Amino acid sequence: MEQRHLGHTGLRVSRIGLGTLTWGRDTDEHDAAEQLKVFWEAGGTLIDTADVYGDGEAEYVLGKLMDGFVPRRDLVISTKAGSVPDPDRRFDTSRGHLLAALDASLARLGTDHVDLWHIHAYDPATPLEETLQALDLAVSSGRARYAGVSNFCGWQLAKAATWQLAAPGVRTRIASTQMEYSLLQRGVEREVLPAARDLGVGLLPSSPLGRGVLTGKYRKATPVGSRGASEHLAPFVAPYLDEAANGIVDAVRTAADGLATTPLHVALAWVRDRPGVAAPIVGARTAQQLTEALSVEALSLPDEICRALDDVSAPVHRYPDHDWSTL
């Protein structure tokens, strides 16, 4: 698999990443092991997880699989911290919480460092400089090699990167931002993606298949065993099961038919090759599904197909994104 630099850093990652959202809950250790083996044998390196996935079980399963199954040195491990199971406070990016969460992640993963550590979301209750100081401490202590953010809007990302550049003694720079990005969700193109490209921050798209909807499997019904049929993930899929999404899914299917490939490949290749994207993160229920996704490696979409998909999925961005005098 092709390797790409993550933003303006020396860290190289496979241009498709493996997500572990369901590991330890809907995906047991045996199935996770099969997925990891398929991914590794295909040349994949970037594994994405978080301390809240499966209430920590995803990290624990990954840690067990790195213990003799797949060499730790062959993987780029990315995890996240900052989400909390508290009905009164969804996020906590205070220094104390973040550093304790990182130590707990390292214990579950069975490693002395992660290659990439993300803040899971912006926390309005914590001063941003406190959060960024925690990132700097994690990197300077060797517990994380690189740091990033997740679910930061454009101004939040720009503010964070600017503070890091201006703060005396701070050496850590944001290497990546993880955001949902697909043909069904192009909101990042408004501010986040331009900011990331200008700042040299690599974009790691999550849900690049539109939460599975772009594969076309939900077009007529919800398949048994799918995420849409899962007690935990059905609400996650539901927002994309509307008529607007159906039109985009139909366009993807038409493109796939014309290219003699699958809707999955078309949707994944589209987001993988967008400017500024380092590696979309793919989550699979089975090793067979993952194998199908990874076989996109040889596909590059023709320009006319990309333009057609751009047009049919174009988000409405008016003022101030376009010249006000033309509106």
Active site residues: 53
Contact 233, 26 (CB under 8 A): yes
Q: Angle 263-272/243-259 helices, nearest 10 degrees?
A: 100
What are 177's two structure tokens? 């931002």
Pairing of strands 12-14, 202-206: unpaired
Single-letter amino acid, residue 216: G
CA distance 158 to 219: 38
CA distance 327 to 323: 7
Q: How far is CA 106 from the centre of its chain?
A: 20
Contact 109, 147 (CB under 8 A): no
Contact 265, 296 (CB under 8 A): yes
CA distance 272 to 292: 15
Contact 278, 7 (CB under 8 A): yes
Q: How far is CA 51 from the centre of its chain?
A: 14
Choose among 66, 74, 178: nearest CA to 119.
178
CA distance 154 to 7: 16
SS3 176: strand
The distance in angstroms from the start CA to the end CA of the chain is 44
